[in-house]
Amino acid sequence: MKLNKLGEFGIIKRIYQKSKDKNVLVGIGDDAAVLKIGKKLAVITTDTLVEGDHFNLSYFTPEQIGMKAIEINVSDIVSMGATPKYALVSLALQKNMNVKFIDNLYKGMRKAASKYGVEIIGGNLTHAKQIIIDVDVIGFVNKQNLCLRSSAKPGDFILVSGDLGASTAGLNLFLKKNKGHDYVKKKHLEPKANPHKIKSFLKYINAMEDVSDGLASEIQHICEQSNVGAIIYADNIPIRDETRKAAKAVNKNALDYALYGGEDFELVFTVNEKNLNKVKGYLIGEITKNRDIKIYQKGKEKLLKKHGYDHFA
Amino acid sequence: MKLNKLGEFGIIKRIYQKSKDKNVLVGIGDDAAVLKIGKKLAVITTDTLVEGDHFNLSYFTPEQIGMKAIEINVSDIVSMGATPKYALVSLALQKNMNVKFIDNLYKGMRKAASKYGVEIIGGNLTHAKQIIIDVDVIGFVNKQNLCLRSSAKPGDFILVSGDLGASTAGLNLFLKKNKGHDYVKKKHLEPKANPHKIKSFLKYINAMEDVSDGLASEIQHICEQSNVGAIIYADNIPIRDETRKAAKAVNKNALDYALYGGEDFELVFTVNEKNLNKVKGYLIGEITKNRDIKIYQKGKEKLLKKHGYDHFA
């Protein structure tokens, strides 16, 4: 069987093994691993940007690529309820590239890292046919703030921290070489992690994940790992007018971008009803005991079949 | 200026920044970063294997690739005097690859990891044109065992833990499609980290590094970071007969493989004269106050000009 038949989800299931180490609080399957080191809880994530897949030199500047490499990893740490602290950078570059590329890449990485108090403390350097940037970020978390994919409870409300679909809208305009639509294009070129949007009420969040592969995919992860289902109120999903206009310009549906696109890096989280007044966000669904994931739109309910972005589909 | 003009060494110098964080004991520039986390010292490394550069599917099995990915990172942790504990695996694969590839790759990774008590606790999965395997390994170290590149002292003896040049000999035979020479070929296909060779006398080692890019390159790193020089006794460098024969078969010099080849993963370390009887290894040189690096061979002394393997040269 080929990898594209199995899909990303299937591959991860195939390689999954439960840890037997009592210091591994979270292993394969969440946004980051959580380790008990002495009295501290360390959170570690790794994410790879591949040229032509996660960025394209025809519309990304090297500085923007550097910023993105850090932001997406910081986002994984933030989605665990943790605070990022250190980064390691593994670069594969082409031999004939200009030194300016690496200077500007590092400028972007350091610019993004310093916003979050993150320091680049090491890495690796090699050459390849494609540019590959693998970043690891290490952070720390207080146990009461830890937000796992597996902590959603039936009856929880589902919220998102901001508008969705804009990054995918931007990407599609770049691919079709459409002019204008600066809001969505910037959302694609300069994604940001969003720790400030959830920091003040972390202790009231049950499950959390960052929206990197589309809302449908993230809610599915939470449901799988929490052994629950969900109902998504599609009409409540925050989508900006700019995103709707950009989708329309290429004959696409902005809701599809929000559900099945990716790289928004907003946070999707679940909260018990009694804590709803203590958090901020857009209420877009509910966790159910029944394990189906349903979408309710314009008075009609249907089963979620499609997933989010799959790197192998 | 192009990256291949600057070279690997020059690129690293260009991106280097000294850490201001008192919990970062070692940052960019050593085999791994060292972080103080509570009362523990964590050691973190990252290394990337790129298809066609670090391995080739025409002579590596997927299981051997998996083993190599773990061994080379374990070696970086071992060369700090530390014990490896956890691994994260970031994979970029081609969509049309067979599922068996990933099964066997993980089989190899888990086989190598379990030898050292290392557990794979997370990672990332994406697609690319080339297969790229980025592994991070996290370990722990007692402060008195920490072996840095910067800890060599004038008068120290330089030792290596085992024979050199075999992996490069094996690679060259594969490239020339020569038959036979199983010892050196296996050394290339199945490199091993060597913690058992130095574990019992770690506290007597000053500086240490693993031989991944050739002995000349590693000694140069130690000298640069310790502000010292060295004299290498070329005739003392342990090279097996099998390696000499393999080099001869392709009209190459086995000593060049040892000095300027790579991927032996033996350990090169420095020891004060008074501790020489407490360690095991092949004595191949001395650290000098004078900052030149000299090679002494067959009664003649010359200055080391060539470096080890450079990914960008």
Cβ <8 Å between A24 and B121: yes
Specify the DSSP element, H or E, that contains B15.
helix B3-15
Cβ <8 Å between B24 and A103: no
Report chain B's mean pLDDT, rounded to a whole number: 92
- The Cα–Cα gap between A192 and A67 comes to 9
- The Cα–Cα gap between A88 and B202 comes to 26
Q: How confident is the model over A97-145, as pLDDT tens digits?
A: 999 999 999 999 999 999 999 999 988 888 888 899 999 999 999 999 9
- The Cα–Cα gap between B301 and B312 comes to 29
How many Å lie between the alpha carbon of A253 and the closest alpha carbon of chain B? 26
Q: Which amino acid is at A8?
A: E
DSSP B55: B
Cβ–Cβ contact B210 with A under 8 A: no
Give yes or no for residue B50 having a pLDDT over 80: yes
Burial A9-34 (b: 16+ CB within 10 A, else e): bebbeebeeebeeebbbbbbbbbbbb
Q: Which residues of A touch B122 (CB under 8 A)?
A: 26-30, 32-33, 44-46
Token readout for B277 is 């009887």
pLDDT band at B63 (very low <50, low <70, confident <90, very high): very high
- The Cα–Cα gap between B72 and B264 comes to 10
What's the confidence (pLDDT) of residue B14?
80
Please name the residues in contact with B76: beta carbons below 8 A apart, sequence gap of 6 or more.
B31, B32, B45, B47, B137, B210, B212
pLDDT band at A63 (very low <50, low <70, confident <90, very high): very high
Q: Please, are residues A29 and B124 in contact by the beta-carbon 8 Å criterion?
A: no
Q: Which residues of A touch B6 (CB under 8 A)?
A: 99
Specify the DSSP element, H or E, that contains B176.
none
DSSP B308: S
Q: Which of A42-56, A243-257, B193-207, B288-302 is the least confident region?
A: A42-56
Chain B residues 83-102 with CB within 8 Å of chain A:
86, 88, 90, 92-99, 102
Give yes or no for residue A60 having a pLDDT over 90: yes
According to DSSP, the residues that pair with B119 across neighbouring strands are B86
Q: Which amino acid is at A205?
A: I
Chain A residue with CA closest to B213: the answer is A126
When pLDDT is averaged across residues B127-144 and rounded to a whole number, the result is 92
ipTM of the complex as predicted: 0.86
Q: Which of A28, A92, A125 is the closest to B122 by Cβ? A: A28
SS3 of residue B307 by DSSP: coil
**Count of A–B CB contacts within 8 Å?**
222
What's the confidence (pLDDT) of residue B44?
95
Cβ <8 Å between A124 and B47: yes
Cβ <8 Å between B136 and A17: no
Token readout for A56 is 């394209």
Token readout for A284 is 């877009």
pLDDT band at A265 (very low <50, low <70, confident <90, very high): very high
Token readout for A64 is 């923007």
Cβ <8 Å between A94 and B19: no
Give yes or no for residue A309 having a pLDDT over 90: no
Cβ <8 Å between B19 and A92: no
A309: exposed, middle or buried (C-beta count within 10 Å: 0-12, 13-18, 19+)?
A: middle
Q: Which of A186-195, B54-63, B148-157, B164-173 is the least confident region?
A: B54-63
Cβ <8 Å between A132 and B48: yes
Cβ <8 Å between B121 and A1: no
3-state secondary structure chain A: CEHHHHHHHHHHHHHCCCCCCCCEEECCCCCCEEEEECCEEEEEEEEEEEECCCECCCCCCHHHHHHHHHHHHHHHHHCCCCEEEEEEEEEEECCCCEHHHHHHHHHHHHHHHHHCCCEEEEEEEEECCCCEEEEEEEEECCHHHCCCHHHCCCCCEEEECCCCCHHHHHHHHHHCCCCCCHHHHHHHHCCCCCHHHCHHHHHHEEEEEECCCCHHHHHHHHHHHHCCEEEEEHHHCCCCHHHHHHHHHCCCCHHHHHHHCCCCCCEEEEECHHHHHHCCCEEEEEEECCCCEEEEECCEEEECCCCCCCCCC
According to DSSP, the residues that pair with B286 across neighbouring strands are B157, B231
Q: Which amino acid is at B232?
A: I
When pLDDT is averaged across residues B147-155 and rounded to a whole number, the result is 96
Number of Cβ atoms within 10 Å of the Cβ of B262: 22
Cβ <8 Å between A92 and B48: yes
What's the confidence (pLDDT) of residue B47?
87
When pLDDT is averaged across residues A240-250 and rounded to a whole number, the result is 97
Token readout for B276 is 């020489």
Tell me how far the alpha carbon of residue B179 is from its chain's centroid. Answer: 27
Burial B78-98 (b: 16+ CB within 10 A, else e): bbbbbbbbbbbbbbbbbeebe
Interface mutation target, options A43, A46, A94, chain B, most CBs of B under 10 Å? A46
SS3 of residue B45 by DSSP: strand
- The Cα–Cα gap between B258 and B222 comes to 17
Q: Which residues of A touch B3 (CB under 8 A)?
A: 93-99, 102
